[in-house]
Amino acid sequence: MTLLNEKDAKALTQILCKYYKDAKYYLCYKTPIDLLAAAILSAQTKDDVVNALTPELFKKYKTAKDYANADEKELLKYVKRVSFADKKTKNIIEANKIIERDYKGKLPNSMKELLKLPGIGRKTANTILINAYGIVEGIPVDTWVIKLSYRLGLSTNKNPDKIEQDLMKVVDRNCWHNFAYVIKSHGKALCNTIPICSKCPIEKLCPKNNVTKRL
């Protein structure tokens, strides 16, 4: 595995951030509570599956109180298409009970408080802080970021928290807020299972770790 030196890693991430400068968060929501539910549901589930079911979900449940008082079986009917739907349903209800009880129905806006909620890890907490409150403390690390951080030589780690720390050293802070979405855009457009290296803006810098076939 080739790990890029800091200079090349910074150059590579700067190119990507410029190339995909319009990359945005991919789940639909209107309120912080909407975002909480959508983010919990999105774990190990395709974005289009989540976006397809949340319009009806958000019509039914609008506030933390709505979710906190929800009947588990009824809520499950709205989200049954996602993976681990039973567990996610319970987490959404329990998280909103805490929000209603301890935060007067308002989703907290600190990493420390968000991590206390069921179903919320650092990736989701970062996602909420960035997209609901414009607070940028780190970089959300999802499956795309894990996969491509290794392929592009940005991290040798497998642990998401350690990958985040590696990325924060080489990604310009001005790009932290959407770097996960930059990476996802790059993965979908050019760097999927068989990457299209011939059209890639970082082809000369990328070590192509574990890439056996490419176009």
Structure tokens that stand for 54 in this block: 């949340």
Q: What's phi and psi for 172, nearest 5 deg?
A: -55, 135
Per-residue pLDDT of the chain (215 residues; tens, 9 = 90+): 899 999 999 999 999 999 999 999 999 999 999 999 999 999 989 999 999 999 999 999 999 999 999 999 999 999 999 999 999 999 999 999 999 999 999 999 999 999 999 999 999 999 999 999 999 999 999 999 999 999 999 999 999 999 999 999 999 999 999 999 999 999 999 999 999 999 999 999 999 999 999 99
Give the Cα separation of 139 and 144 in Å (integer). 13
Which residue's structure tokens are 């983010």? 39
Q: Where are the domains of the chain?
A: 6-23+140-199, 32-133
Among 89, 42, 51, 50, smallest CA distance to 70 is for: 89
- Contact present, 37 and 202 (Cβ < 8 Å): no
Alpha helices for 20-121 (secondary structure H): 32-42, 47-60, 64-68, 72-79, 85-102, 111-114
CATH (residue range 6-23+140-199): 1.10.1670.10
Tell me the CATH number of domain 32-133, given options 1.20.120.420, 1.10.340.30, 1.25.60.10, 3.40.50.620: 1.10.340.30
* pLDDT of amino acid 1: 84
Structure tokens at 173: 């802070």
CB 154 within 8 A of CB 4: yes
Task: Record the tokens describing residue 130, joined without a space.
Answer: 């960035």
Say how far apart CA 19 and CA 42 lie, in whole Å: 26
Closest CA to 105 of 97, 113, 94, 116: 97
Helix (H, G, I), strand (E, B) or coil at 165: helix
Taking the model in full, what pTM does it have?
A: 0.91
Cβ within 8 Å of residue 159, ≥6 positions away: none
In this prediction, residue 22 carries a pLDDT of 95
Q: How far apart (Å, rounded) are the C-alpha atoms in residues 47 and 166?
A: 26
